[in-house]
Chain A
Amino acid sequence: QVQLQESGPGLVKPSQTLSLTCTVSGASVSSGGFYWSWIRQFPGKGLEWIGNIYSSGITYYHLSFKSRVSISIDTSKNQFSLKLTSVTAADTAVYYCARVTTTSDSDYFDSWGQGTLLTVSS
């Protein structure tokens, strides 16, 4: 059974770069048919998709993040990572990593990490 675990600093200062890593076990990030994804959730609010990456390095990003976000993948470590530049307090949220099953018809999130709270504050 696939397991995902987010790791990161917990606290980032405004204007700095947020960096999170997702370590995958029980599956290979090189496997075909899956994207690897980042999603965030503001306190007490809904889910917001950030972006996806395929094992080949192909990425898709939410339009509102495009200028600030970068997702990368390290197949040797079975990890993928998120970088979000120029953070503000509005980026304070729980960040989830997830596996996305992708088909010609649709994508869905079949496995999720437990989430990590990231606070932006000076």
Chain B
Amino acid sequence: SYVLTQSPSVSVAPGKTARITCGGHNIGDKSVHWYQQKRGQAPVLVIYFDSDRPSGIPERFSGSNSGNTATLTISRVEAGDEADYYCQVWDSDTDHREVFGGGTKLTVL
């Protein structure tokens, strides 16, 4: 089955840029989607198809995907961005189909 690897935690000061990575074998050949989950809430889609933003998601959120790493970048980080972030791909080759990364906890210092 396809495996997505995320670092458990990332810390960043307010106003700085946070980069959250998602590793997978040739992940650049797949489309990567990102979800934000704040404490006690359901996940929310923040990036789809590597770099597209749903309506209502600030332009500060952006994404890229190449080689073996996809990256979610949050510019000008705010306290309200503190959350768990999950990457996800569709693995058409196996019954696992929808695969999530283990999640990264973003802490705003």
Contact = CB atoms under 8 A, between A and B. Distances in A.
Interface of A: 37, 39, 46-49, 52, 60-63, 66, 96, 100-101, 105-115
Range, interface on chain B: 20 to 34
Q: Which 5 A-B pairs have the closest CB atoms?
A: A106-B31, A49-B98, A108-B33, A112-B42, A106-B90
Contacts, number: 72
Contacts of B94: 63
Contacts of A111: 45
Contacts of B44: 112
B95 A47 contact: no
Interface in B52-109: 54, 86, 88-90, 94-103
Given A60-B95, A63-B95, A113 B42 contact: yes
A59 B42 CA distance: 23
A109 B43 contact: yes
A105 to B, nearest CB: 6
B95 A61 contact: yes
A49 to B, nearest CB: 4
Contact of A107 (B1, B86, B98): B98
A52 B97 contact: yes
Most buried by B among A37, A63, A100, A109: A109
Nearest to A105: B31
A47 B42 contact: no
A66 B102 CA distance: 22
A109 B33 contact: yes
Contacts of B98: 37, 39, 49, 52, 100, 107, 109
A34 to B, nearest CB: 14
Most buried by B among A49, A106, A113: A106
